[in-house]
Amino acid sequence: MNSAKVAVVGASGYSGEELVRLLSLHPTAELVALTSRQFAGQSLAAVYPRFTGTRYGGLEFVGSEMAPILGSGARLVFLALPHGVAAEFAKPLVAAGLRVLDLSADFRIKDPAAYEEFYGEKAHAPELAAQSVYGLPELYRAKLRDAELVACPGCYPTSIILPLHPLVKARLIDVATIAVSSVSGVSGAGRTVKADFLFAECNESVRAYGVPKHRHLGEIEQELSLAHGGPVMISFTPHLMPVTRGIHTTIFATLSPGVEPGRIGEAMHAAYDREPFVRLLGPSSLPDTKHVTGTNFLDVAWRHDPRTNRVVLLSAEDNLVKGAAGQAVQCLNVMCGWAESTGLL
């Protein structure tokens, strides 16, 4: 396999840090530049002691400007930046012929009006969003191979879209009845220095937020609408719980009239049996975030309740891996023609 040089722009948050951890273990990707406004001039190990003595511990952060990125020889660039800022970087990088994997929300939503509805501001680069590929390899593997710009999904959307997609596509469930409750670890809030995320405020606490209209609904409903072939609107309530990593999602939906419950499992197996990172659990298991922490797996289970004719879908992932950095590396593998699990298993 050929190797490829990559850069990470904005490696000062948890997703960026996780990306560097995964790239340290990757046999064919070579990290050649790390940028951070805040840490320019310091080594990776000086900023994140965890990396001392590892492959990139001595790599120095450069400033977040075009020149050092372009000069690094990187052919692919990960953007781990706040939304809005990411678009500013993506434009010149794509223009310069580099392939970009963006972990922000800037290119996930194709419809600028939808972006504006959910983010409360104008879409930052709608023309680029239009040509981007949504970075869910399970759905867009073929398009990812030649993608110039990949919009990596949000953490919640990955855990919601994948379990629902085969059922929505096959019209096995009534899309008007979908209700989703997710619980996320606190790293999902990023390294945001706010009182809300202090240890003593999060420990021994669980609370909902973003009710009833969390931003991630934009991309979730976009992908479900595409699968359904018509507009889908769902309910979604995220919660914060006292773990560092992990998202658990529970989805309720009513079966479409006349659908045999057994078809749920058939659709799931048809969709995911050959996927390296979606694990369908058997009838005696339910997902548990601790089984996926540090891995790129999404664990999925389902149960039909004959009393209500609802199906309950359950999934678990590591929000920083399959929900962010790991999925981006999975996309990288597809883009570079490497085995999809390279560096991830």
Tell me which residues are annotated as active site.
155
Segment interacting with a copy of itself, rule: CB under 8 A, options 76-84, 157-165, 258-266, 310-318: 310-318
CB of 10 to a copy of itself, least distance (A): 16
Chosen residue from 2, 95, 97, 203 binding a copy of itself by CB under 8 A = 203
CB-based contacts of 206, cutoff 8 Å, min separation 6: 183, 239, 240, 241, 242
Stretch that binds a copy of itself, among 134-142, 264-272, 289-297, 330-338 (CB under 8 A): 289-297
Residues 101/180/205/295 CA torsion (nearest 10 deg): -40
- Write the interaction track for a copy of itself spanning residues 108-147; mark x where CB under 8 A is met and - where it is not: ----------------------------------------
Q: Rounded to 10 degrees, what is the CA torsion of 53, 58, 59, 64?
A: 110
User: Can you read off the two tokens belonging to residue 290?
Assistant: 């601790």
Could you give the CA distance from residue 181 to residue 250 in angstroms, rounded to a whole number?
Answer: 5
Stretch that binds a copy of itself, among 120-128, 146-154, 162-170, 307-315 (CB under 8 A): 307-315
> Looking at beta carbons only, is 84 or 210 nearer to a copy of itself?
210
Q: SS3 of 26, please?
A: coil
> Binding a copy of itself by CB under 8 A: which of 83, 110, 279, 322?
279
Give the integer Cα–Cα distance in Å for 184 and 271: 26
71 contacts a copy of itself (rule: CB under 8 A): no
Is 174 an interacting residue with respect to a copy of itself (CB under 8 A)? no
Instruction: Give the distance between the most distant pair of CA atoms in the chain.
Output: 64
Three-class SS state of 177? helix
Of 193, 230, 257, 273, the one binding a copy of itself by CB under 8 A? 193
Count of positions on this chain that bind a copy of itself (CB under 8 A): 77
Handedness of CA 40, 22, 103, 183 (dihedral sign): negative
Q: How far is the CB of 115 from a copy of itself (least distance, A)?
A: 16
Q: Which is nearer to a copy of itself, 95 or 194 (CB)?
A: 194
Where do the DSSP E strands lie in 10-131?
29-35, 61-62, 76-79, 99-102
| Residue 79 interacting with a copy of itself (CB under 8 A) | no
Q: Contact at 8 Å (CB) between 120 and 98?
A: no
194 binds a copy of itself (CB under 8 A): yes
Cα gap 320→247, rounded to integer Å: 9
Contact (Cβ atoms closer than 8 angstroms) between residue 227 and residue 165: yes
Compare residues 70 and 119 and give the one whose CB is closer to a copy of itself.
119
Q: Pick from 113, 290, 337, 339: which binds a copy of itself (CB under 8 A)?
A: 290
**Which residues 3-22 are close enough to bind a copy of itself by CB under 8 A?**
14
Chain residues 209-268 in contact with a copy of itself, contact rule CB under 8 A: 209, 211-213, 233-235, 237, 239, 241-246, 248, 250, 252
